[in-house]
Structures are given as structure tokens and as C-alpha cells.
Amino acid sequence: MATDELVLLQDVVKEFRGVRALDGVSTTIRPGITGVLGPNGAGKSTLIKILLGLVRMTSGTGHVLGRTLGVNARNIREVVGYMPEDDCYIPGLTGIEVVQFAASMSGIPNTEAMRRSHEILDFCGMQDQRYRAIETYSTGMRQKIKFAAAIVHDPDLLILDEPTTGLDPEERVALLNRIRSLADRSHKSVILSTHILPDVQATCDHVLIMSHGQIRLSGSLRELERPTESRLNISVLAGQDRLTSWLQEQQIHVTTQPNGLLQISAGDPDLLERIWQAAAERQVAIQSLAPSRNSLEEIFMTAVKEAADASP
Amino acid sequence: MPVHDVGYRAWNGRRIASYWRWWTISARGVALILKSKWIRRMLLFAWASVIYWAVSFFLFENFIETVRQGIPGQAAMAAMNELEGTPIGMVAEDEVERILARRLEQQIPLLRSSEAHQLAVVLADDDRAHSRRVFWTLMTLTFFRYPQAAMMVFLIGFIAPSLIANDMRSRAFLLYFSRPIRTRDYILGKLGILAAFLIWTITLPALLLYFFGVMLSPNVSVVAVTWDLPLRIVLASVVVIIPTSLLALALSSLTQESRFASFAWFAVWGMGAGAHLAMQGNFMTRILGSRGMLDGPILPSEDRWAFLSLYECLGGVQRWVFGAEVSNRTVLTSAVVLSGVTVLSLLVLNRRIRQAVQT
């Protein structure tokens, strides 16, 4: 296993009473922030539980941070932090006690666990609320506590399951910044499982799209967003109708995007010059004319649709 | 670096050994439960009976001091002014025993007729060491069987049902199992919580009772006769703690509603005791008879229906642990039932926890 491979999975299958939750998953996750995307039932949670060693694979092999899956799950959880999607807490404990408890269970001695918990809660922006019973917390505060509990033992790999659920926009941005900062400054690797595509776009270096228990697409976000065919986006300040009708006269397929941009196929190498000339002749004010990029939403929808079409 | 840097900092400290992680679960659990005012009161109340029992030790030790050593049977009675004027050798042995038993009953309220008679027989033979042994064993056994057993049932009934049921309801399982914690660490951690409270409720008061007994005895030689009682107390505590705690945890793991687990816990004790009494055939006598319950032995040496009741099974094995009279059959049956409860509870716990983690 190469040293730059955080996670390596080969033909991983997981069946629950005859139902395949994971169907031959093979992938490599590299350092950085990896977004795991997929509709409900895609197998994301099962994949995470397999990575944590909570669920045994039916077949296949895998390694997490050089440790073999299915051999000693406890070894893996020593170096992995997990923030579950579920609102899990122990009633009666205060916020600081939850984080300290998590630290102690990870092997940090008691006094040190308390010091470290305060340090992490400071990092998470949790003020005096840390001394309140956790059942009195808002969803946002609970998310912060879960996040703090996941990183308190200084894991090398952080697995976050829907971390921004229930957060207001300000808190969401703050959490994503924290995640980004952990990756950039502290060189932590993160696996971010989420439904929220803008979160992935804002933070992730790599994306892994799952559907029907299989990985449909994986790669760096930059690569995936690169245009697969030559297309141009045109933003028009004035005279959009005139430009549209000229493009149609030239038998160029043109579509209007939801954000008002015109999108055209750019097969002809002279097209750019002709557009500028036509715009000048017809007094069309073009604000920008740039190659189009695939949006993550398009990539996601295409991958999921292909999976749905392919499944019996 | 600024004085108050709120940025993320790495941690490179040394971790504690993994086989001690269960202790963290136990310690946190105990601290959490001790936040309850009612539990703290119950724990204090659990020690109250020590004083009452310690007084019995004091009374008994004073009683046998009045029976002068080296003057057996009737002479002893004479010394106690029970048979004043009666020539020595003119009173039947069983009469001496009867009088001694009556005096014991009068002086030590905790002693039942059957036990008083048993002691009187030994005392009449002037075997003071043996009589001490019998009395201390009986008293420690009754201490285990009555006040502390009742406290144990109530305390575990309040604490245990929520231990796993709440974790299931609040999905706290993931908080535990996303850490380097195994199923066995989790079970051991939860078991440790109950064990801590049971040690506080049963073992420590019994050891304190022994200590008080020794301190209140006019004659320190009692230690030579009863030195092994503390060890037997610890062993008898283990007999109680393991099956009962595991059973309570298994019941807690079967539901997300702690009140159902609580109901099941009390039902196990109530129904078991009811079935046992009914099958013994003297249900009405023991329940309704004004003297029936008071006159019967603490435990019959032969109890073929012990397996119906967890309480009686515990009694059977504890009686054996303390070296009291009990038939091998009763001990064996009770041990099998307790072992069965332990194994079954472990299987249920293991299965339920694994299921909960995987879903």
C-alpha cells in the first residue's frame, strides 16, 4: 500500500440479510478532504462503518491508514475521529464532560483529557455553554460538541457524517472553515459525507459519488469540474434576444441556464471571433464569454441517473 | 504563538493502555448516577442496617462471656442463675438447651427460634469457639439475605434499566464505539458501574459489620475463629454481583424504554419469589401465618424449588460460601441457575449491542 493512500478498498461487499448495501466497492482515498456524495441508501453510512470497523465486510479487503480492515478495528479507531450524523449524546452530561469522556475513551489520561477538551472547545467556538447539560443544547451546539469529540484525540483521519446538518449559515461557514483549516494547517485528512453539494464545493479536494452500493465516480473536484466537451458560457448585459436569434440563425445550439447565462457548443474554432463581431454589429453588450465548467450538481445528477438506469 | 491561541493544536501525549478503557466508562457512569440526590440517599440508607446488626454481635459476645468457660451445660445455667437451687446433674440436657435458646432469643432480637436453638446446642456443649463461628456466620448471612438483598434489588432496579436502554434511545452507542472500545469493554464498563454500587451496598457494609463486631467484642480472640469471614463476604458479594448485574444489563439492552427494563427486573424477583413460595407448599403459612415467617429457618438446608427464584438461588450458593448447612443438591441447582443466568445475559448483551452498533 502506497504511503499516500489513506484508504484502500478492493471489491468490498456488504450484505445485510441478502440485501447488498455495498456491491464491489474498490477505491483509493488520498490525503486531503474527500467528499462522499450519494442519495439516501447509496451505502455511504455502511462504507463509513466499515472504515471504522463497526461493520464487518461480507467479502473484499481494505486498509485504513495502513491498518488492515477486519483484523483489529480498535487500532483503526485510535487514529480515526468520527462525527456521526445521529444526534447521539449521553443525557445528564455537560458539553465539556462529553468531550472529556470521548478523550478518556480514546486513551488520554483524565487530567489531560480535561485540559485537551477545553482547548478543543475553544477551537470550536464553544464558550460558557460547555458547562450546560447537553440535552439543553440547540442542534448547532450539539453538532459542535460532536465535532469536538471527534477531533479531541488528534486523529490523523476525520470522518464527518453530515456535519453541517441543522447549522445556521454563519455556523455552517465557521465549521467548514475549521475543517479546511484542519486539513491545510494541521495536515489532517477528512472524509466528508454529505448531501449538501455547496459544502463539498467549498471544502473538498476529492469527490466520491456513490449510488446503489457502488462508487459511480471518483476523482479530484478540479478534474471532475473540467468541461468534458467544449462549451461556452455567455453573460449578456443588453441585447440577449438579438444574440440568441443570431446564434439560432447560425444553427448553433443555445440553452439558457437558470442563472441567465447562455450556453453554446463551441466546436468551431472561429466561433469566438464571429460572436464578438456579431455582438458589435447588433449592439449586444457581452459581459463575459468563457469556457463552461461542469457544476458538481450536474456531475452528481448524471452519475446518479446513470446508476439508476443501469440498475435492474 | 499568542497567549490565548484558539487554533487547533496537535496532541502527542502518551495514551493509557487499552485494557483499562472500560474503567473510563465505569467511572463516568458512577459519577453521572451520583448526580441523583435520591441515589445518594439510598446509598447512605444502605449502611444503616450495619448498626443494628453490629449491636447483635455485641449482645451475643456479651452473652457468651456470661457463660463461664469450662463450665458446661447445667453448670453454665447455674452460673446464669437460671436453675438456681437445682442440683447439678438433675436437669436434662435438652432443658438446658431450651433455656439457653430462650435467653438468646430474648437478648438478641435478630435471632430466630431455629437459629437460637442451633446456637444453644453448641453453647450447651461449651464449645464457645464453634458457637461464635455459627453466630457470626448466621448473622452475616442474614445481613446479606435481608437488608442488603432488598437494597440491592431496589438500587439496581433504579440504576440499571437506563444504563443501556438510554444509550440505545439516544444513539450514544456511536459515541462509545467510534472510540477504541470493544463490545466487551462496553459491557465490562457498564458492569463496573453496577458492581461499584453493589460493592458499596453489600460488600463494604458487610466488611464494616465484621469490623464493628470485632471492635465490640469483649474478647479479641474472636478474630482467630472468624478470620476467614471477610474473604467469604467478598466471595458471597461476587456471587451476587455478577449474575444480578448482568441480568439487569441484559434486560436494559432489550428495550429503549428504561421503564420496561425496570418492570422486568422487579418482575423477575417478585414472580420468582412468588413461584418459589407457592411450590414449597407453605405459601399461606409463610405469608399469612403470624409466626410462620419468623420461626422458619433463614434457609432450609434442602430446597428443591430454589431454581424458581433468583433470590433463593443466591441464598443457596451464599449459604455454601459462608459454610452454613445446606444440601449439595440445593447448592448445585442454585449454582447452575446462576451460571445459566450469567451466560444467557452475556449472550443477550453481546447480540443486542452488536445489532445496535451495526444498524
Read off the C-alpha cell for A100. 472529556
Backbone angles phi, psi at B36, to 5 degrees: -80, 125
Q: Provide mean pLDDT across the span B264-288.
A: 77
Q: Of A225, A245, A264, at which residue does a domain stop? A: A225
Grid coordinates representing B289 are 401465618
> Is the same domain home to A253 and A154?
no
Beta pairing, strands A33-37 & A59-64: unpaired
- Phi, psi of A17, rounded to the nearest 5 degrees: 50, 50
The three grid cell numbers given for residue A291, joined into one nine-digit string: 469556457
Clarify whether residues A286 and A164 are in a common domain: no
Residue A311 lies in a domain: no
Question: Is there a single domain that holds both residue A32 and residue A174?
Answer: yes
With an 8 Å Cβ cutoff, are A89 and B15 in contact?
A: no
Rounded to 10°, the helix B310-321/B258-280 angle is 70
Q: Which of A92-106, B75-89, B108-122, B168-182 has the lowest average pLDDT?
A: B75-89
When CB atoms are compared, the residue of B24, B28, B174 closest to A88 is B174
Pick among A78, A79, A88 to test the B interface (most B CBs inside 10 A): A88
Instruction: Give the dihedral of Cα atoms A114, A120, A125, A126; nearest 10 deg.
Output: -30
Round to whole Å and give the CA distance between B263 and B282.
27
* Cβ partners under 8 Å of residue B345, min gap 6: B243, B246, B247, B249, B250
**Residue A297 placed within a domain:** no
Alpha-carbon gap, residue B147 to B326, rounded angstroms:
21
Q: Could you tell me the three cell numbers for B268?
A: 423477575
Chain B hits for A107, CB-CB cut-off 8 Å, are 15-18, 21, 180
pLDDT of residue B284: 52
Residues A31 and A132 in one domain: yes
Mean pLDDT, residues B326-336 taken together? 89
| Whether residue A260 sits in one domain with residue A158 | no
Q: What is the pLDDT of residue B82?
A: 55
What is the predicted pLDDT for the residue at A13? Answer: 93
Select from A16, A49, A77, A90 the residue whose CB has the most chain B CBs within 10 Å, as the one to mutate to test that interface.
A90
| Residue after which a domain boundary falls, among A191, A225, A259 | A225
DSSP H or E run through B122: helix B113-124
B184 pLDDT above the threshold of 50:
yes
Q: Give how far A94 is from chain B: nearest CA, Å.
A: 10
**Residue A193 banded pLDDT, cuts 50, 70, 90:** very high
Give the end of a domain, one of A180, A204, A225.
Answer: A225
pLDDT at site A114: 95
Average pLDDT estimate for A183-205: 89
Can you tell me whether residue A163 is helix, strand or coil?
A: coil
Residue A184 makes CB contacts below 8 A (sequence gap 6+) with none
Task: Tell whether A264 and A143 lie within a shared domain.
Answer: no
Residue B23 at interface with chain A, using a CB cutoff of 8 Å: no
Average pLDDT over residues A137-155: 93
What is the total count of domains within chain A?
Answer: 2
Give which of A112, A120, A57, A109 is closest to A83, Cα–Cα: A120
| Full DSSP string of A280-298 | HHTT-EEEEEEE----HHH
Same domain as A201, residue A236: no
Q: Which of A77, A48, A266 is nearest to A156 (CA)?
A: A77
Mean pLDDT rounded to a whole number for chain A: 86
Residue B290 has pLDDT above 50, yes or no: no
- Residues A183 and A255 occupy one common structural domain: no
Regarding whether A171 and A47 lie in a shared domain, the answer is yes
Contact B352, B253 (CB under 8 A): yes
User: Do B108 and B128 form a contact (C-beta atoms < 8 A)?
Assistant: no
Confidence of residue B282 (pLDDT cuts 50, 70, 90): low
Interatomic CA distance for residues B240 and A1, integer angstroms = 52
8 A C-beta contact, residue B37 and residue B192: no
Residues of A in contact with B177 (CB under 8 A): 52, 54
Return phi, psi of residue A282, to 5°: -100, 10
Question: Looking at the domain assignment, is residue A47 inside a domain?
Answer: yes
Give the distance from residue A239's alpha carbon to the nearest chain B alpha carbon, in angstroms: 51
User: A98 touching B, CB under 8 A?
Assistant: yes
Long-range Cβ pairs for the range B234-239 (8 Å, 24+): B234/B203, B234/B207, B235/B321, B236/B144, B236/B206, B236/B318, B236/B321, B236/B322, B237/B198, B237/B199, B237/B202, B237/B203, B237/B206, B239/B314, B239/B317, B239/B318, B239/B321, B239/B338
**Closest partner CB to A77 (pick from B170, B178, B357):** B178
Chain B residue numbers touching A131 (CB-CB < 8 A): none
Residue of A nearest to B11 (CA): A154
- pLDDT per residue as tens digits for the range A11-55: 999 988 888 889 889 999 999 999 999 888 888 989 999 999 888
The pLDDT assigned to B4 comes to 59
- When pLDDT is cut at 50, 70 and 90, the band that residue B291 belongs to is very low
d(CA B118, CA B108): 14
Residue-number span of the structural domain to which A67 is assigned: 7-225
Share of chain A above pLDDT 90, in %: 40
Alpha carbon distance B257, B169 (integer Å): 8
Q: What is the pLDDT of residue B70?
A: 44
What's the pLDDT score for residue A224? 74
Q: 485528512: which residue's cell?
A: A189
pLDDT: which is higher, B36 or A5: B36
Judge whether B34 is closer than 8 Å to chain A, CB to CB.
no
Q: How far is CA B267 from the centre of its chain?
A: 19
Which CATH number is A217's domain given? 3.40.50.300
Q: What is the CATH number of the domain that holds A282?
A: 3.30.70.120
Map grid coordinates 440508607 to a residue. Answer: B45
In a domain, A201, yes or no: yes
Assigned C-alpha cell, B307 = 431454581
The closest alpha carbon to A173, from A201, A138, A136, A205, belongs to A201
Of all residues in chain B, the one with the smallest CA distance to A81 is B178
Q: Which residue type does B232 have?
A: R
- Measured in degrees and rounded to the nearest 5, phi and psi for residue A68 equal -75, 130
Exposure pattern of A227-246 as b/e (b: 16+ CB <10 Å)?
eeeebbbbbbeeebebbbeb
Question: Are A237 and A149 members of one domain?
Answer: no
Grid cell for residue B147: 437488608
C-alpha distance from A52 to closest chain B C-alpha (Å) = 7
CB-CB contact of A209 with A35 (8 Å):
no
pLDDT digits (tens, 9 = 90+) for A216-230: 888 887 777 666 567
Reported as a single tens digit per residue, the pLDDT across B89-127 is: 555 667 777 877 887 887 787 777 777 777 777 777 767
User: What confidence tens digit (pLDDT) does each residue in B127-151 have?
Assistant: 777 888 888 888 899 898 889 999 9
Residue B1 pLDDT: 46
Question: Residue B76: pLDDT above 90?
Answer: no
Q: Does B355 touch chain A (CB under 8 A)?
A: no
Q: What is the mean pLDDT of chain B?
A: 83
Give residue B267's pLDDT. 95
- 3-state class of A136 per DSSP? helix
Enter the ipTM. 0.80
On the question of pLDDT at B292 being above 70, the answer is: no
DSSP conformational letter for B145: I
DSSP states of B264-320: HHHHHHHHHHHHHHHHHT-HHHHHH-TTHHHHS-SS-S--TTGGG-HHHHHHHHHHH
pLDDT at residue B77, rounded to an integer: 55
pLDDT of B71 reads: 47
User: Given this model, what pLDDT does residue B131 score?
Assistant: 82
DSSP string spanning B220-235? TTHHHHHTTHHHHHHH
Whether A218 and A72 map to the same domain: the answer is yes
Size of interface A-B (CB pairs under 8 A): 111
Residues 224-263 of A with CB under 8 A from B: none
Whether residue B199 is predicted with pLDDT greater than 50 in this model: the reply is yes
Let me know if residue A178 belongs to a domain. Answer: yes
The whole-number pLDDT of residue B300 equals 56
Model confidence at A286: pLDDT above 50: yes
Residue A101 is nearest to which of B18, B28, B167, comparing CB atoms? B28
Query: Residue A229: what pLDDT?
Result: 63
Tell the residue number behind the cell numbers 454481635, with chain if given.
B57
Which among B10, B171, B182 has the least Cβ separation from residue A88?
A: B171
pLDDT, tens digit, 9 for 90 and up, residues A237-268: 888 888 888 888 888 888 887 777 888 877 77
Residue A92 in this model has a pLDDT that exceeds 50: yes
Average pLDDT over residues A163-184: 90
Least confident span in A14-23, A102-111, B256-265? A14-23
Residue A281: the pLDDT is 86
Rounded CA gap, A244 and A266, in Å? 15
Residues A127 and A167 in one domain: yes
